[in-house]
Amino acid sequence: MADNPLALVVGANRGIGLGVVRELVGRGCDVIATARAPEAATALRDLAAAHPGRVEVRALDMADAAGVDAFAASLAGRTLDSVLINAGVAGPAHRSANAATMEETGALMFVNAIAPIRLGRALLGSMRKDTGVLGFTSSVMGSVALNAGGHELYRASKAALNSLSRGLFAEMRSRNLTLLTLHPGWVRTDMGGSGAPVSVDESAAGMVTVLLGAAGSRRHAFLDYQGKEIAW
Ligand SMILES: NC(=O)c1ccc[n+]([C@@H]2O[C@H](COP(=O)([O-])OP(=O)(O)OC[C@H]3O[C@@H](n4cnc5c(N)ncnc54)[C@H](OP(=O)(O)O)[C@@H]3O)[C@@H](O)[C@H]2O)c1
């Protein structure tokens, strides 16, 4: 990889994550991009092939705690300018807390909230001093203030991510880094569905503008893909 700014995108083989990788490359960043199954990540591998030396495709399953730790350790010695921990699942989105099992809620919470924080915390030492930006793809559905009901388990998983990200920021203050908890919009992906109003390209362009533009701000904010503040 050349001397370009270096970004990491986790959950980059489809949807918003893939769009963010494409956008970052277009803006001159080199990208480490993860997929659970890199051999099946055709669109991501095609993107990497179209930009030789600019996109490094790595395997990472956020449901594998030891794998998350090992992945973070494997980046020791690299300096990350921007990180977007984007992988997420809807889980038993249409079921209420009264109908969900312990196994499925455990998996939802681990992938959407615990593993992102575990990885983010483990990467702090690899972030560029003073200007590094660590981002989590959350959702407006994680806002407690704006919770109007529905999808309560998915909402709870993103609210947990928001709360954990606030705690992580308190811990990392002395490092002078920036932490963003981001809402990508309601986006036309496998998760968002075909009726969503925002395209992947539009969301990704906004997410990357917000991520890169926050460098050096050293704050923690809950922002949407257009840079608007969201109530916690
Ligand atoms: N779409 C929306 O309207 C919307 C709105 C608000 C927030 N979000 C959030 O935005 C993020 C991306 O969503 P999307 O719409 O792009 O969803 P998507 O199209 O369903 O893609 C989800 C991505 O997460 C990855 N992923 C899921 N479980 C994983 C695991 N255990 N380990 C590693 N990667 C895993 C998927 O990889 P595989 O291909 O291997 O499954 C895929 O790359 C999510 O965090 C989601 O909650 C989306």
Could you tell me the domains of the chain?
Answer: 6-224 (3.40.50.720)
User: Side-chain half-sphere of 122: how many Cα atoms within 13 Å?
Assistant: 19
Atom 1, ligand 1: residue with shortest CA distance:
192
What digits encode the pLDDT tens for the residues 152-186? 999 999 999 999 999 999 999 899 999 999 999 99
What digits encode the pLDDT tens for the residues 26-75? 999 999 999 999 999 999 999 999 999 999 999 999 999 999 999 999 99
pLDDT of 2 reads 58
Distance of CA 145 from the midpoint of ligand 1 (Å): 24
- pLDDT confidence tier of residue 92, bands split at 50, 70 and 90: confident
> Nearest-CA neighbor of 57 among 80, 78, 38?
38
User: Can you tell me which atom of ligand 1 is nearest the CA of 140?
Assistant: 6
User: Can you tell me which atom of ligand 1 is nearest the CA of 13?
Assistant: 43
> How far is it, in rounded angstroms, from Cα 20 to Cα 9?
8
What digits encode the pLDDT tens for the residues 188-224? 999 999 999 999 999 999 999 999 999 999 999 999 9
Pocket test for ligand 1, best of 84, 108, 189 (most atoms within 8 A of CB): 189
Pocket test for ligand 1, best of 112, 191, 199, 203 (most atoms within 8 A of CB): 191
Q: In angstroms, what CA-CA distances link 201 with 26, 46, 86, 92, 194?
A: 12, 17, 15, 27, 14
User: Can you tell me which atom of ligand 1 is nearest the CA of 111?
Assistant: 31
User: In the numeric block, which tokens belong to residue 187?
Assistant: 């986006």
What digits encode the pLDDT tens for the residues 93-151? 778 999 999 999 999 999 999 999 999 999 999 999 999 999 999 999 999 999 999 99
Q: Which long-range contacts (CB under 8 A, 24 or more apart) does 149-155 make?
A: 151/90, 151/93, 151/94, 152/96, 152/97, 153/91, 153/92, 153/93, 153/95, 153/96, 153/97, 153/100, 153/105, 153/108, 154/90, 154/91, 154/93, 154/108, 154/112
> How far is it, in rounded angstroms, from Cα 127 to Cα 87?
19
User: In the numeric block, which tokens belong to residue 75?
Assistant: 């980046």
pLDDT of 94 reads 74
Bridge-based pairing state of the strands 30-35 and 6-10: parallel
